[in-house]
């Protein structure tokens, strides 16, 4: 596990360090092997409890084989309703304020707005600006829960379907495409917490095959999909959740008079979804590290500038690996998604 680079003073740092995760603050020197640069990941955090979400995704982003620098981002036009404004002001930047060309990838969290039409979400214009840029730049993206539904609608016109009741609990998913690098070696079953009022149906995915379903649960439906051309992952559930998150949501909903089924205590206590979350994010980050400079947003321009800065260094020394998100062949692993080889 490599170091995680977080903004200086972020409260999540203490919790992550207590869990044994190496965290570097701000611009402190980062120990890494010669020639291995940190990945820079934007975390667009639109969850209500921002500090908890920072810890949850920090755990998953710490699973890379190289340091990961996290840039905390909010969409333009987004006004936090419950977050401490001092926390937001100190640690977050607006999408329009960041240097997008420094990014290697982006994670966009869910938000409790799936009951609304996308156009009715107050910050939809800001989200659309992010989706537009990410899609046009082919920036590798991990869209989570509502963000996955929103990105599928924005990029492909895939509708979300209201469920009428909350789908809630921990559900084992069946992998549908072993060739996808994001599933490589992830142990089975693919347990994932589900907490949403809407779903994306297989029958609504584009008929041209541009969006590939990757994991499905008999009860909770589609849980994971990808668009290899856009380098987009659509993760419709919550493998980042803590062991007590579902229990806290259950108590909150019951207090509000919302009828939901109690989650299985055995699954929540064991946090059976942890291997799924760690595996998915580890694989995604590994693929980011393998992208050649020519496959990143600035492409050949960035490559030429680096060569010039290095006094004519070879393209190979400026490259960041040779494989993109596409090609993989099938191997095998017991009780895990088969390993794919590039």
| Catalytic entry in 114, 240, 249, 287 | 240
Task: Supply the CATH number for residue 127's domain.
Answer: 3.40.50.880
Number of structural domains found in the chain: 1
Residue 203 has pLDDT above 90, yes or no: yes
Can you give the pLDDT at residue 179? 87
Average pLDDT over residues 71-85: 95
Residue from 266, 250, 267, 247 nearest 258 by CA: 250
Q: Per the residue annotation, which of 54, 145, 154, 337 is the catalytic one?
A: 145
pLDDT at 331: 35
Closest by CA position to 61, among listed 42, 48, 76: 42
Q: If we measure between CA atoms, which residue out of 234, 236, 241 comes closest to residue 197? A: 236
- 166 belongs to an annotated ligand binding site: yes
User: What pLDDT is recorded for position 265?
Assistant: 74
Catalytic residue at 102?
no
Helix axes of 146-156 and 124-137: crossing angle, nearest 10 degrees:
70
| Domain span including residue 29 | 4-341
Task: Tell me: pLDDT of 295 over 70.
Answer: no
The answer to whether residue 333 scores a pLDDT higher than 60 is: no
Provide the pLDDT for residue 308.
Answer: 64
240 annotated active-site: yes
Asked if residue 209 lies in contact with residue 28, where contact means CB atoms within 8 angstroms, the answer is: no
pLDDT at 312 over 70: no
Band (329; pLDDT cuts 50, 70, 90): very low
* Catalytic option among 199, 238, 249, 337: 238
Instruction: Give the pLDDT of residue 292.
Output: 60
Backbone angles phi, psi at 338, to 5 degrees: -55, 140
Q: Is 195 annotated as a binding residue?
A: yes
pLDDT exceeds 60 at position 146: yes
pLDDT value for 342: 39
More confident position, 217 or 266: 217
Binned at pLDDT 50, 70 and 90, residue 296 comes out as low
What's the whole-model pTM score?
Answer: 0.85
| pLDDT score recorded for residue 36 | 73
State the pLDDT at residue 319. 39
| pLDDT tens profile 149-190 | 999 999 999 999 999 889 999 999 999 998 899 999 999 989
Greater confidence (73 vs 256) lies with 73
Q: How confident is the model at residue 298 (pLDDT cuts 50, 70, 90)?
A: low
Average pLDDT, the chain: 86
pLDDT at position 148 over 80 = yes
Q: What confidence tier does 334 reach under pLDDT thresholds 50, 70, 90?
A: very low
97 is catalytic: no
Please state, as a whole number, how many other Cβ atoms lie within 10 Å of the Cβ of residue 191: 22
Cβ(63)–Cβ(70) under 8 Å? Answer: no
What share of the chain has pLDDT > 70, as a percent? 82
């Amino acid at each position: 596990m490599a170091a995680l680079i977080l903004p200086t003073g972020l409260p999540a740092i203490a919790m992550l360090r207590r869990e044994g995760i190496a965290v570097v603050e701000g611009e402190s020197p980062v120990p890494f092997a010669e020639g291995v640069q940190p990945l820079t990941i934007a975390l667009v955090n639109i969850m209500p409890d921002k500090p908890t979400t920072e810890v949850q995704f920090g755990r998953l982003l710490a699973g890379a084989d190289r340091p990961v620098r996290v840039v905390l981002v909010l969409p333009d036009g987004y006004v936090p309703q419950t977050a401490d404004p001092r926390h937001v002001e100190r640690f977050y930047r607006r999408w329009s304020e960041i240097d997008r060309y420094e990014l290697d990838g982006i994670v966009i969290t869910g938000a409790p707005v799936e009951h609304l039409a996308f156009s009715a979400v107050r910050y939809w214009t800001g989200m659309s600006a992010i989706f537009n840029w990410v899609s046009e730049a082919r920036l590798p993206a991990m869209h989570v829960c509502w963000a996955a539904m929103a990105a599928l609608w924005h990029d492909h016109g895939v509708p979300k379907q209201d469920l009428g009741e909350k789908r809630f609990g921990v559900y084992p998913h069946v992998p549908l495409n072993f060739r996808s690098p994001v599933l490589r070696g992830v142990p089975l079953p693919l347990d994932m917490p589900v907490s949403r009022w809407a779903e994306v149906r297989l029958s609504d995915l584009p008929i041209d095959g541009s969006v590939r379903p990757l994991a499905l649960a008999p009860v909770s439906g589609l849980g994971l999909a990808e668009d290899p051309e856009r380098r987009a992952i659509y993760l419709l559930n919550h493998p980042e959740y803590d062991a007590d998150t579902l229990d806290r949501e259950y108590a909150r909903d019951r207090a509000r008079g919302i009828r939901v089924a109690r989650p299985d205590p055995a699954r929540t206590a064991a946090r059976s979804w942890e291997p799924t979350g760690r595996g998915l994010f580890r694989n995604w980050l590994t693929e980011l590290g393998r992208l050649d400079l020519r496959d990143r947003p600035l492409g050949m321009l960035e490559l030429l500038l680096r060569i010039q800065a290095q006094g004519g260094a070879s393209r190979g020394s400026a490259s960041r690996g040779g494989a993109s998100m596409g090609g993989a062949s099938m191997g095998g692993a017991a009780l895990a998604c088969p390993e794919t080889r590039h």
